[in-house]
Amino acid sequence: MLLLAYLSVLLLLTLCLGFEFSACRTGPGPGPEAGAAPATNPAFRQFQLRFYRVYFLALWADWLQGPYLYKLYQHYGFLESQIAVLYVCGLASGVLCGLAWGWLEGRLGGPRRSCLLFCACYSACCLTKLSRDYFTLLLGRALGGLSTSLLAPSFEGWYQGQHLERHDFPREWIPATFRRAATWNHGLAVAAGFAATLLAEWLGLGPVAPFLAAVPCLLLCGALVIRTWEESPEESRNQNLNGTPLSRSCADGLSCLLSDRRVLLLSSVQALFESVVYILVFLWTPVLDPHGAPLGIVFSCLMTSSMLGGSLYRAAATRVQPLPLLCLAVLLALLSLSLLCFSTLPGRESPSQSFLAFLLFEGACGLYFPAMGFLRGRVIPESRRQGVLAWLRLPLLLLACLGLLALHGSGEGLEGPRHMFLGSSGLMLAALLAVAGLFTLARHDGDMKLESESGAGGEQAGDCL
Encode the chain in three state secondary structure: CHHHHHHHHHHHHHHHHHHHHHHHHHCCCCCCCCCCHHHHCHHHHHHHHHHHHHHHHHHHHHHHCCCCHHHHHHHCCCCHHHHHHHHHHHHHHHHHHHHCHHHHHHHHCCHHHHHHHHHHHHHHHHHHCCCCCHHHHHHHHHHHHHHHHHHHHHHHHHHHHHHHHHCCCCHHHHHHHHHHHHHHHHHHHHHHHHHHHHHHHHCCCCCCHHHHHHHHHHHHHHHHHHHHCCCCHHHHHHHHHHCCCHHHHHHHHHHHHHHCHHHHHHHHHHHHHHHHHHHHHHHHHHHHHHHCCCHHHHHHHHHHHHHHHHHHHHHHCCCCCHHHHHHHHHHHHHHHHHHHHHHCCCCCCCHHHHHHHHHHHHHHHHHHHHHHHHHHHHHCCHHHHHHHHHHHHHHHHHHHHHHHHHHHHHCCCCHHHHHHHHHHHHHHHHHHHHHHHHHHHHCCCHHHCCCCHHHHHHHHCCCCC
Interatomic CA distance for residues 337 and 121, integer angstroms: 35
- In this structure, which CATH number among 1.20.1250.20, 3.40.630.30, 3.40.718.10, 1.10.3720.10 belongs to the domain 45-237? 1.20.1250.20
Please say whether the beta carbons of 314 and 462 come within 8 A.
Answer: yes
pLDDT of residue 459: 38
Q: Tell me, what's the pLDDT at 440?
A: 84
Which pLDDT tens digit goes with each residue over 313-363?
Answer: 988 888 888 999 999 999 999 999 999 999 988 778 889 999 999 999 999
User: CATH homologous superfamily for 244-460?
Assistant: MFS general substrate transporter like domains (1.20.1250.20)
Location of each CATH 1.20.1250.20 domain in the chain: 45-237, 244-460
CA dihedral 379, 383, 384, 389 (to 10 degrees): 90
How far is the C-alpha of 362 from the C-alpha of 307, rounded, in Å?
9
Asked whether the whole model's pTM tops 0.85, one would answer: yes
Task: Report residues of the chain scoring pLDDT below 70.
Answer: 1-2, 20-39, 101-106, 232-247, 249, 406-415, 444-465
pLDDT of residue 446: 65
pLDDT value for 23: 60
